[in-house]
Structure 1
Amino acid sequence: MDLLALADFNLVARHGGFGRASRESGRPKATLSRRVADLESGLALRLFERGPRALKLTEEGRALFERTAVLLTELDEAAAAIASGGGAPRGRLRVSAPLLFSQAAMGTLAARFAMKHREVRLEVTTEDREVDMVEEGYDLVIRVNPAPDERLVGRIFLRDRLVAVASPALKKPAAGKTAPAVVRPGDVPAHAAAWELSARGRTRTLAVEPVLQLSSLFMIRDAARAGIGVACLPASLVTHDLAAGRLVHWGDVEGPEIALWALYPSRRLLSSRVSAFLEFLREAFPQGTPDELAAFME
């Protein structure tokens, strides 16, 4: 297989068209079109559906792109590392991170990483949806409790837990009574629900009645501070409020832990940029505790 033709096919697939690939790479559009046509002819496969206004990968084209994009990147990086004598990481590093983690820490983390690795162009996108790393061109994603994905490997770098907190002005309800609660839409039914709480080695059931629904955990925390109801929040988000007495701890919420994973495409050779970012996360969160994340919110 012609590696140059394969590289041009990946270039066109990544940019979604011959014109855009030509503008981004500086390679003639006619050359890209000819090399892709030669590759299709050699494989006896149609790799793109060519419409009057759009270019779309066929099923075979998508499979080829997903299998070869990482390999070509590794070849480029291996050649660059050899040429530079295995020097400092360099090039573009695209990261996707969830909203709460980004708001709490990513600005500071990104700045520190960029200052440490001056030749890496870090780009961070914040969103809670599960991005397709290969299709959307990400090098690394940070996800909370991700579902198993055989295409990805990674490691946990931070753990958190959920706690029930409220303003000191809000009294705990007596046994069998209901507490007003601030929740995210969809977290609990519109009617009363119950949280299982543990504190000082004892477990109790807290009946809650949602009185306010807010989409942001930061907004929920602020509403709980104001005293409208109890809230279920990550411990890292309320560490300083608990220490300052703005909120009080009603108990840890029973359920699965919150684990933040750094994930990347399964590959034998790992990009030096990704390796550097993984090591940077390990240094930033050596114990992986909620208090270490809370330190970024001071």
Structure 2
Amino acid sequence: MDLLALVDFNLVARHGGFGRAARLSGRPKATLSRRVAELERSLDLRLFERGARTLKLTQEGRMLHERTAVLLTEIDETAASIASGGERPRGRLRISAPLLFSQTAMGRLAAGFALAYPEVRLEVTTDDRNVDMVEEGYDLVIRVNPAPDENLVGRIFLRDRLVVVASPDLPRPQEGQAVPVVVRDARDGSTSWELQGASGSARIAVDPVLSLSSLVMVRDAVRIGVGAARLPVSLVSHDLVAGTLAHWGDVAGPEIALWALYPSRRLLSARVSSFLDYLKAAFPKGTPDELAAYLAG
């Protein structure tokens, strides 16, 4: 497989079209089109559905993009790390992380990193909004399921999934009956939740009786028995094992992916590279069970 063709394919897939990819990368549109066509011929697969004005990944194209984009990022990171030679990580490293990850894991991660790299002055702020990394001076951000951004690159370092849990004392709702629930965002407006279990999918009616701004608070409220809630399985894994919470089913929908992102136009510094390596060492598999074990440790 031609690596350059694979790089160009991911560039087009990432930006959603040949024209946009060409404008943002500075590469000729004809070259991108030719490289992708060559890759399709070599694989004997159609990677894009080409319409008059639209370009959409096929199922095979989407699988190839998902599996190779991270690998190409790791190649870039490795090359940048080698290029930095014997440079010792030093100086200020500013990181923005989401609230839940900060509350549950970031304190230990930051302390361990500070001990391992004493010449780095690590600053971590908690924010769920999409910060402007360049304008606000961040070197790296951690985000949950971020929207595509042509100015950022990165990789998934953890995966999680949502489950519906409740106190064992809270009865499951009968058909047509609304169950009291605790939500993080009062603006959600959901009137029902779709669950997936061993016997298939089901939908339950919900009645939000309590809104809290933190998933840790939501979990604590659910433990008391005020209602059911949708929570990351890593956050409630210990409760499920101990029997203090009951598992009603998995939430239908995409998985939770935690990304470590940094500006694509900036040479990867030794500080950022070292922190990425530290994350990978802390979560080598990146599974929900691994995160749950880390939180319980």
Q: TM-score, normalization: structure 1?
A: 0.69
What letter matches 1:132 in structure 2?
D
Superimposed CA distance per residue, residues 268-297 of structure 1 (whole angstroms, 9 cap, x where no aligned partner): 631011010011111111111112222233
Q: Which amino acid aligns with 1:240?
A: H
Q: Residue 40 of structure 2 corresponds to which residue in structure 1? A: none
1:194 counterpart (179, 188, 192): 192
Q: Kindly indicate whether the alpha-carbon contact (under 8 Å) linking 2:158 and 2:257 is maintained by their aligned counterparts in 1.
A: yes
Cα distance in 1 for residues equivalent to 2:203 and 2:163: 14
Aligned length: 216
Deviations 1:228-253 (A, max 9, x none): 11111111110111111110000000
Letter in structure 2 aligned against 1:110? A
1:280 equivalent to 2:284? Answer no
1:217 aligns with 2:215: yes
Gaps of 5+ in 1: 1-76
1:188 Cα deviation after fit: 3.0
Tell me if structure 1 keeps the 8 A contact 2:233–2:288. Answer: yes
The one-letter code of the counterpart of 1:154 is G
Residue 156 (structure 1) aligns with: 156
Q: Aligned partners of 1:188, 1:160: CA distance in 2, in Å? A: 21
Partner of 2:128: 128
Deviation string for 1:10-58 (max 9, x for gaps)? xxxxxxxxxxxxxxxxxxxxxxxxxxxxxxxxxxxxxxxxxxxxxxxxx
The code of the aligned residue for 2:243 comes to G
Q: Which residue of 2 aligns with 1:45?
A: none
Q: Which has the larger radius of gyration?
A: 1
CA distance change for structure 1 residues 145 and 187 in 2, over 3 Å: closer, same or farther? farther
**In terms of mean alpha carbon deviation, does 164-173 or 211-220 score higher?**
211-220
What residue is the counterpart of 1:271 in the other structure?
269
- Aligned mates of 2:120, 2:220 — CA distance in 1: 37
Gaps of 5+ in 2: 1-79
Cα distance in structure 1, aligned partners of 2:160 and 2:235? 10
The alpha carbon displacement at 1:204 in A equals 0.7
Partner of 2:248: 250
- Please tell me the residue identity of whatever aligns with 2:140: L
Measured in 1, the distance between the counterparts of 2:117 and 2:199 equals 46
**Out of 237, 240, 262, which is 2:238 matched to?**
240
Q: CA deviation at 1:209?
A: 0.8
SS class of match (2:271): helix
Aligned partner of 1:146: which letter? P
Give the structure 2 partner of residue 99 of structure 1: 99
Hey, what's the Cα distance between the residues in 2 that align with 1:268 and 1:183?
39
Q: Which moved more, 1:152-161 or 1:178-187?
A: 178-187
**Which amino acid counterpart does residue 209 of structure 1 have in structure 2?**
D
Where 1:203 maps in the other structure, the secondary structure is strand
